[in-house]
Amino acid sequence: MQFFGGSEISPSPPVPTATGNNAHMMYVFNRNGVCLLYREWNRPLHTLNPQQDHKLMFGLLFSLKSLTAKMDPTKYHFVSLSLHSFQHQFSVAVYNFLLMMRSAEKGNLGIPQLPGQGCSFHSFRTNTYKLSFMETPSGIKFILVTNPRTGDLREALKYIYNLYVEYVAKNPLYTPGTLIRCELFNTALDQYVRSIA
Amino acid sequence: MTSQFPVPQNQTNSFPSNKFRVLSSILLTMAAIYSLYIINKSGGLIFYKDYGSKGRMDTNDSLRVASLWHSMHAISQQLSPTTGCSGIELLEADTFDLHCFQSLTGTKFFVVCEPGTQHMEALLKVVYELYTDYVLKNPFYEMEMPIRCELFDINLTQAVQKDRVALLGR
Amino acid sequence: MPPAAPRSGDAIFASVERVNAELFTLTYGAIVRQLLTDLEEVEEVNKQLDQMGYNIGIRLIDEFLAKSNVSRCVDFKETAEMIAKVGFKMFLGVTASVMNWDADGTCCSIVLEDNPLVDFVELPDTCQGLYYCNILSGVIRGALEMVAMKTEVTWIRDMLRGDDAYELQVKLLKQVPEEYPYKDDE
């Protein structure tokens, strides 16, 4: 059910940069690490179950943010890494990673960051994909995973944020912090993502 | 833009010319390189050099950064939508870019530079070559341990410096 | 690519969709009336209005952030100015001013020059304890909570109670840092 969505989304969407089907998936998280939305368009490889996958993604972003804040070469260091104690022999296993996360909670050397504080990152690229990331000051994280050759998607993520505001945040039947089940949002998102990647 | 590297008073070295050319083209862009890290295959930091970022990291922090990067690099492979992912190559942050090169042996080289700096892949390859020449071939270098090889330091620094002078002389 | 410049409250207000102001005012009045009927106690109505405002605020903040291009404020002072100059303008079409700062910059007053909620309203004697516009304090509290600021918002002056202006006191209680949310590796 949908009450909103009739109004025009402003600003108008950025000019399409590609045509085709290069988008792999999209995640939306809130501040509490709840995966509000997961869309998958093209993902041949699944290494984990969905829940683990979402947690791992959130953990990766959380840690990368902490890392970039720490590494910021233009600022003197106020922020300490909010993760520590990596004495364990590293293994790729998820469990190990989550263990690290837990150890960070026990004794935090660093000063935890406020949302939006410090130098953050907006994308990273591997040989197989590109991840574009945007976090709003209200702590909502938008993640779009596309083909590694995709260009700058910062404006696109901003536009998706506007879609979220119109179709989700302003939908009175949507309870904040719960899974997004807004048909109009999904349709608009699919359509838009297809036009940009 | 200010010079990020100290200008040497004397340059007497024999730097291989092909590497020199690569470095020249890198530095012609006049973009700043902030720091360079080398991480061994188990995530330990074995080399860290700061080229003039504002807040040089202390030893503990640089070790943590290296270890965290090592983990993030591995996790990024887990999250790949397709097979054959070999980890993050470029991280674009608000105030810097991080380029990472991982050799087939699992050693990671990464450079932190100004956003948009070009030719960093080439620079990392040069650093890799210098590493094989002056670190791995050094019989007294203990594998996987922190790099304390003067020749490596000299060559790395002088390469950069010499290039900077060539640039200033133009 | 430089980030888009923050937009002024006027510019946003000019571009958003609007409804008839009187319809809005009358609707709000009807809600308050109904709450008074349902809850009977004036204190309960104040609480309920604040809660309703809070629920609006936690959603409205994203609309505000998405449309205004505002990024993180450096301090609470800037936050208060943002609310007064951009927020009020964008959603209510009025401007407010920030004054009465305390020494450590964590408490201030937002004074409304105009208040569209109270057109046509005369508070009867039976509702003396009512903060008619209490929904506004809830909106501010909810919105700020979503950007990691716990606040307390109270009415200092209320023209419906015979004061000369509408004054809201906003007090910053604490800023909530972001923490890794997962407790266990299930």
pLDDT bucket at C74, cuts 50 / 70 / 90: confident
**How is residue A27 written in tokens?**
């995640």
Phi, then psi, of C143 in degrees rounded to 5: -65, -45
Going by C-alpha positions, the residue among A18, A52, A10 that lies closest to residue A35 is A52
Helix (H, G, I), strand (E, B) or coil at A105: helix
Q: Which phi and psi angles does B45 have, rounded to 5°?
A: -80, 125
Contact (Cβ atoms closer than 8 angstroms) between residue C93 and residue A164: no
Asked if B53 lies within 8 A of A63 by C-beta distance, the reply is no
Q: How confident is the model at residue A74 (pLDDT cuts 50, 70, 90)?
A: confident
Nearest to B64 among A47, A60, A81 (CB): A81
Q: Report the residue of A165, A173, A180 to disrupt the C interface, i.e. the one with the largest count of C CBs within 10 Å.
A: A165
Residue span of the structural domain in which B153 resides: 32-169
- Decide if C59 touches A, using CB distance below 8 A: yes
Amino acid (1-letter code) at residue C8: S
CA–CA gap between residue B74 and residue A101 (Å, rounded): 15
A74–B95 CB contact, under 8 Å: yes
Averaged over A49-73, what is the pLDDT? 90
A-to-C residue pairs, Cβ atoms closer than 8 angstroms: 92
Sort out which chain A residues have CB atoms less than 8 A from B91's CB and list them: 64, 68, 121, 123-125
**Tell me: the pLDDT tens digits for A162-189?**
999 999 998 989 999 999 999 999 999 9
> Is residue B16 included in any domain, yes or no?
no
Domains of chain C: 9-175 (3.30.1380.20)
The separation between the first and the last C-alpha atoms of chain A, rounded to the nearest angstrom, is 29
Interface list for chain B against chain A, based on CB atoms closer than 8 Å: 34-35, 42-43, 53-55, 57, 61, 64-65, 67-72, 74-96, 98, 112
Residues C177, A114: C-beta atoms closer than 8 Å: yes
User: Which residue's entry shows tokens 């409804």?
Assistant: C19
Burial status of residue C131 (CB atoms within 10 A of its CB: 0-12, 13-18, 19 or more): buried
Mean of the per-residue pLDDT values of chain A: 77
What pairs with residue C118 in β-bridges? none
Of A7, A99, A138, the CB nearest to C62: A138
pTM over 0.80: no
Q: What is the CATH number of the domain that holds B45?
A: 3.30.450.70
Number of domains in chain B: 1
CATH fold for the domain made of A23-42+50-70+113-195: Beta-Lactamase (3.30.450)
Shortest distance between the Cα of A8 and any Cα of chain B, in A, equals 31
What is the separation, in whole angstroms, between the first and last Cα of chain C?
A: 41
Q: Is the peptide bond before A11 cis (omega within 30 degrees of 0)?
A: yes
Per-residue pLDDT of chain B (170 residues; tens, 9 = 90+): 344 444 444 444 445 556 665 565 555 444 578 889 999 989 999 999 988 777 678 888 889 899 999 999 999 999 999 999 999 999 999 999 999 999 988 899 999 988 988 888 888 888 898 898 889 888 888 888 999 988 999 888 876 665 444 444 43
pLDDT reported for residue A85? 31
